[in-house]
Amino acid sequence: MSNPNITLMTDLYELTMMQGYYKNPTDQIVVFDAFYRVNPCDGGYAICAGLEQVIDYIRDLHFDPDDIDYLRSLHLFEDDFLEYLRGFHFTGDIYAIPEGTVVFPREPLVKVIAPLMEAQLIEPALLNLINHQSLIATRASRVVHAAKGDGIMEFGLRRAQGPDAGTLGARAAVIGGCIGTSNVLTGKLFHVPVKGTHAHSWIMSFPDELTAFRTYAKLYPNACILLVDTYDVLKSGVPNAIRVFQEMRDAGIPLKGYGIRIDSGDLAYLSKMAYRMLDEAGFGDAIISASSDLDEYLINSLKEQGAKINSWGVGTNLITSNGWSAFGGVYKMAAIKNKNDREFTPKIKLSENTEKVTNPGNKTVFRLYSKTTGKIKADLIALEGESFDPEKDLTIFDPISTWKKTTLRGGSYSVRELLVPVFKNGLCVYHSPEVMEIQKVCKRELDTLWEESRRLMNPHQVYVDLSDKLYDMKKQLFEEMSLKEQQAHRASEDSAEKQK
């Protein structure tokens, strides 16, 4: 996290392709889209995150002398190409959907317009940074939703897959709605709240549990959350906690941010019994915090069981996104042109799997909202330069099941373009907000989703449609590719016949 130069954090074939382009000079400018195909966790949406780290990466993109020496040692690259890399930097344009925004499959989260070699090199790092944080931010938002207003603390550092995953994952979790993290480095780097209690070892290091509680309360009277499950929650932990709280009250110490944490056992039963004991002793407003391998499904279940928990610590299952380990973002070429050409030539990747067929052209994304509710009606992927008048009727349709159509009446909806400029001609033109500001953005964004799209199981999927112009372009490319395949097949048959 000391801002190392990560230019070599790329796949080898990006560099070998770059050398190929260098040896066969081209002035081509390309459009690449970074997008994903399936919502994480079988959910109804995702949260875009990681853009600040992408900006840092692009700003610092260069090859150090020792990078050049290492590449030379691979005996794959010629000296003239290595000399070219010494002066390499990014000169293109980047557009992106701001962090904290609700996003959906197939729409570009990041669009890169740059010379071919530059756009090619940055693929792995860009996807690494966007994929990881978008996954964790999305998972965090689901956990927060399941808690129904209770605070969620992220404390998965010790279970994360490495320092960067723990630190940037905590950043993403806060974007997704966590009220804080146990990771002090994340707190320092990104100015987010850090919180925590104590471990079982604190209790075990004292002669008895009561002495441990008293010592902790004396040290931290304004943040006295006592871990009550080291020995016996109901027979020892909660009674000793109550005794310490009563001693604090008798001493005139204000009880602020005080309570208990349960880290094992039947959390529903234990929390109900602990609340009853605390309430009867006059401490019904105490925090009852729970941890122990929680995720959104378990939290939802505990809520349905009437658990008296009002603060949750979520670690492993959040920071690793246990059960859904990857975001699945990809980076595909969408258009190409020579440097002095005015128009891009659209490019498309075909596949027998319809989900893997790409959307061609230089595109942007519009979000359509209901003026009545403020909720998202649909997203519309369109060609750059297209515009839509919200005072006019707009018919949208599913690009695969084209018979599924709906018409938005003029005056009933509003339009917002999602992609914003981040780099222009290699210079950053975008200011990244503080993480806590991004969290506010994320909350507002989530409020634009229908509740049906936020449910944990079988959510309603938001429509992501194509504009008429983009759909027609895609259809035309299909037909052209099909014709070329037929011609190639006939030529192959003719050649075989002649050989006979």
pLDDT in tens, 392-442: 999 999 888 888 899 999 999 999 999 999 999 999 999 999 999 999 999
**Three-state secondary-structure class, residue 366:** strand
Report the C-alpha gap between 57 and 6 in whole angstroms.
Answer: 7
pTM of the predicted structure, to 2 decimals: 0.95
Question: Is residue 1 scored above 60 in pLDDT?
Answer: no
Which pLDDT belongs to residue 486? 72
pLDDT in tens, 50-73: 999 999 999 999 999 999 999 999
More confident residue, 488 or 243: 243
Which pLDDT belongs to residue 398? 86
**Three-state secondary-structure class, residue 194:** strand
Q: Which fold has domain 1-194+320-362+417-466?
A: nicotinate phosphoribosyltransferase (3.20.140)
Distances from the Cα of 9 to the Cα of 100, 129, 227, 383, angstroms: 25, 11, 42, 32
Report the C-alpha gap between 177 and 154 in whole angstroms.
Answer: 10
Confidence of residue 496 (pLDDT cuts 50, 70, 90): low
Which pLDDT belongs to residue 110? 98
Question: Is residue 449 scored above 80 in pLDDT?
Answer: yes
Which residues are 377's β-sheet partners? none
Which pLDDT belongs to residue 77? 98
Which residues are 94's β-sheet partners? 112, 423
| Residue ranges covered by each domain of the chain | 1-194+320-362+417-466, 197-292
Query: In the block, which residue shows the tokens 């929680």?
Result: 294
Contact between residue 159 and residue 293 where contact means Cβ atoms under 8 Å apart:
no
Contact between residue 316 and residue 159 where contact means Cβ atoms under 8 Å apart:
yes
**Which CATH code is given to the segment(s) 197-292?**
3.20.20.70
Distances from the Cα of 349 to the Cα of 339, 353, 481, angstroms: 23, 11, 10
